[in-house]
Amino acid sequence: MDGVAQLQKQLVDFTDSLFQEGFLDEQFNQLQQLQDESNPDFVVEVVSLFFEDSERLLNELAKALEQKTIDFRKVDAHVHQFKGSSSSIGAQRVQKVCIAFRNYCEEQNIEGCLKCLQQVKLEYSLVKNKLETLFKIEKQLIAAGGSIPT
Amino acid sequence: MSSTNTENWMKDIGVLDLTGVGGGSTSAAKKITALVVDDDSVNQTIHSKMLENLGIQNQVVRNGKEAVDLHSSGNNFDLILMDMDMPVMNGIEATRKLREMGVRSIIAGVSTCTRDEREQKEFMESGLDDFQEKPLTTPKLVSILHKLNKKC
């Protein structure tokens, strides 16, 4: 029992910290509420989709910004998509960088765009890490016989 | 817990017949159908699940053209969740086309906050019944569904 209680506390504390530090927002709660017994892996599934999409988008962005003549509309379209999916899962910090990124695209500011690309890569890897840790704790909790506190 | 919410919501908009067999069983409710039109797989998954959790049968397509084609081949839905930015045919064009085809379903535009007010206005004017900013949440979805009841 002690092990389970400890893991539960760990999970709650860790999740709280993610919200407090702005990594996640209310939208992530919405996702968790959609999960139920008939679909116990829903959040993991959606987040995995997000990871796949994001990695593809980041590659496309890097490629687009390496071109001799940059097609800012293309870059903007990718960032727009990234902004959309990150906001859908509640990845707040990623979303915020995307907003700034789009402004630089509109201004056709190459330096600004490159800076944002670095920033968004960083924020993405941070939130990816955090979410993977979150899922790991959840798995440990369930393996120990506990259930995820709602 | 989620089934109680479904029943409450359905009672609320009057599609759940409580005098039906099983007292509150959702099988007594009129089956509402929906179409999710969005090119992003994350959004597709989330919107579809939200609808499913509310007891709404739904289908997903990736762009406006697929939505139009579905209707051309005789399909019809009570509700259409239409994204704006999509390849091949975007939400504005698709909504216009569907209205031209005589589609009278509730079409709700769902889009990320556009800095372009003109584009949002154009979207509304293409024939939307409602507009919700992404990300979609269950409460936003329920508010769209209230419109469905009014139209019925």
CATH number of the domain to which A81 belongs: 1.20.120.160
Question: Tens digit of pLDDT for each residue in B31-56?
Answer: 899 999 999 999 999 999 999 999 99
Closest residue in B to A77 (Cα–Cα): B85
- Contact residues, chain B, for A84 at CB < 8 Å: 40, 43, 112, 134
Is pLDDT of B57 > 70? Answer: yes
Structural domain contains residue A90: yes
Closest CA to A79 of A44, A114, A129, A29: A114
Structural domain contains residue A97: yes
The predicted pLDDT at position B115 comes to 62
Q: Are B16 and B28 in contact (CB under 8 A)?
A: yes
Structural domain contains residue A150: no
Closest CA to B40 of A117, A53, A89: A53
Is pLDDT of B151 > 70? Answer: no
Cα angle B14, B67, B104; round to 5 = 40
The SS3 call for residue A113 is helix
Per-residue confidence band for B24, with pLDDT thresholds at 50, 70 and 90:
very low
The predicted pLDDT at position B31 comes to 85
Structural domain contains residue A14: yes
Structural domain contains residue A147: no
Torsions phi, psi for B40 (to 5 deg): -95, 125
Give the position of tokens 């500011």.
A109
Mean pLDDT of A100-109: 96
What six digits make up the tokens of A6? 């400890």
Number of domains in chain A: 1
Structural domain contains residue A57: yes
d(CA B115, CA B44): 23
- Contact residues, chain A, for B136 at CB < 8 Å: 88
- CB-nearest to A83 from B50, B53, B112 is B112
The predicted pLDDT at position B128 comes to 97
Domain boundaries, position A110: 3-140
Strand partners, B109: B82, B131
Closest residue in A to B135 (Cα–Cα): A88
Question: Tens digit of pLDDT for each residue in A14-66?
Answer: 999 999 999 999 999 999 999 988 889 999 999 999 999 999 999 999 999 99
- Contact residues, chain B, for A87 at CB < 8 Å: 112, 134-135
The predicted pLDDT at position B18 comes to 36
Torsions phi, psi for A83 (to 5 deg): -60, -45
Q: What is the pTM of this model?
A: 0.85
Structural domain contains residue A125: yes
Structural domain contains residue A149: no
Closest CA to A136 of A15, A20, A2: A15
ipTM of the complex: 0.88
Cα A38 to chain centroid distance, Å, stands at: 24
